[in-house]
Structure 1
């Protein structure tokens, strides 16, 4: 099958190079397993006008041909971008039309990480399930409210449109492609050769509470700082409202509007984030961490922690601990 990578200024080189290498390895293993030297995967890089492009890491990428000449392929792959597509990439009308044209010809289109923003710009994801880099989920929802975004998913597929989550989720995309267009045996061999977990399906354990303030409500920012500095205490939301001199009802509405979370939900996120840091960087017991973040009952903490991360505290420590 022919796989076409669409490169453009600011693309993440690893999103292309990593998968190119993966398909090379898949071809090698295919020959080894089947005894047939014919490679099942052929790859190419295309750009608008066939011009070289510079990746986000200042790596020059040379295309095999122009996207205008790449009218027939079996799969289109859109890499991640830094910054987000639609911000500094300039006019993408022709690129979007090229993607739409392939989708209309029933060519599957896959977008990785922030490359999903470019796919969404085409309008093809309206009413469809998608995922993207979890760090940009709020930005994505604001720009594309008609897309059914599921940031907890590592990979989604809807109507021939495949989306992946953050960064190295493209490896799981590669395994999906190899398994579908090669064989399950080939995908399994590649996963083992590359030390990949083929059953990884969620971004949730990797979520972090953003520290930047993506809004300009200074009173809410002040309240956020208060919660982040006093999460271990018995926090009363009405007291915070008085602290920022807003009526409790008005405060709750403004806080939700600015952050996307109710104040108590945000406090819970802050506490879970603090617990995650303790699990990653200390050997404190679960009971000690429970007390540190302001809970009295460790069973309540364990339940909330699993609800937010899909892992138990012990499982999270085993996966992410540095000590």
Structure 2
């Protein structure tokens, strides 16, 4: 039987993460019981103390075990904890050596949503791929530059360490683990019970691009603002460099360092974000939207739009347009 430890961190912990993980694996046991088979999982809540205050004291959870108990686990699940990541990590620092010890003894480790900050603090993500909520991607990169962050991913799986994207995409990782441990048929059954799209694998569709300006390079901020105000026009990297009195190479290096995007990628994301807003609210056809955001090549526009959002412009409009819904 596989032992699963769902951590109960101190702070504004995601109760939905805790409940979903507990329920998902228990439902597998219930399904096995109906088939007159033995349970596959023993699921227990693990805290720093025998009584954990979560959500700023609004709720109290009584863990089954604490770190003082002498036990070995097979899978550790770290739920999201909201708030300043540095404060969250400091309040829960006692979990970190325990997670490392269990991992070295053969346990696997899984973080849900921004639980990735706690997981990364153990050092187990160093040099590995990871995802988290796209809203926290810039903060994560700054705190953990040695981790290969992939914020468009729903799931990463590398070396017995798993991470999930933002919010309810954690359900997809839990379903993925059910499939890994219990098989495809059980995963499909679980996906139907919990009504989860088993094939969803990207956060791209949900990302709202607001520009990455949480940096101190004022020259690059000026470049960003110019792009954001003039994106329908033809902007080249050379003309932008000339306007800022920088060499092209120097501009590209500083821009990438400050924003994590190349200049061209940034222009594409600004234009596609404008196109998304138009497709959601305006009755213009796709070609008119394309021209209005600065593209003249239909094939290129559709290719870039799908690369960033995961959908074609028409599919996006059909899914999100107020007029289409009406």
Partner of residue 100, structure 1:
100
Contact 2:128–2:147 (8 Å) recurs in 1: yes
Show structure 1 runs of 5+ residues with no match: none
Partner of residue 279, structure 1:
279
Deviations 1:271-296 (A, max 9, x none): 01111222233443211110111112
Contact 1:79–1:115 (8 Å) recurs in 2: yes
Check 1:303–1:168 CA distance in 2 against 1; reply closer, same or farther (3 A cut).
same
Matching of residue 232 in structure 1 with residue 229 in structure 2: no
Query: How many correspondences in the alignment?
Result: 320
Structural mapping, 1:1-323, within 5 Å: 1-8=2-9, 9-32=11-34, 34-36=35-37, 38-55=38-55, 58-69=58-69, 71-83=71-83, 85-211=85-211, 213-237=213-237, 240=240, 246-247=245-246, 249=248, 251-322=251-322, 323=325
Check 1:311–1:161 CA distance in 2 against 1; reply closer, same or farther (3 A cut).
same
Deviations 1:212-257 (A, max 9, x none): 62113334323322322221123355555566x5435455444333
| Normalised TM-score (structure 2) | 0.87
SS of the aligned residue for 2:43 comes to strand
| Normalised TM-score (structure 1) | 0.88
Contact 1:6–1:67 (8 Å) recurs in 2: no
Large movers: runs of 4+ above 6 Å? none
Check 1:240–1:57 CA distance in 2 against 1; reply closer, same or farther (3 A cut).
farther
Using the TM superposition, give the Cα deviation of residue 111 of structure 1 relative to its aligned residue in structure 2, in angstroms.
Answer: 0.9
SS of the aligned residue for 2:225 comes to helix
Contact 1:46–1:70 (8 Å) recurs in 2: no
Distance 2:36 2:277 in 1: 50
SS of the aligned residue for 1:220 comes to helix
Distance 2:316 2:156 in 1: 24
Contact 2:89–2:117 (8 Å) recurs in 1: no
SS of the aligned residue for 2:179 comes to helix
Contact 1:51–1:66 (8 Å) recurs in 2: no
Using the TM superposition, give the Cα deviation of residue 86 of structure 1 relative to its aligned residue in structure 2, in angstroms.
Answer: 2.9
Contact 2:32–2:39 (8 Å) recurs in 1: yes
Contact 1:4–1:77 (8 Å) recurs in 2: yes
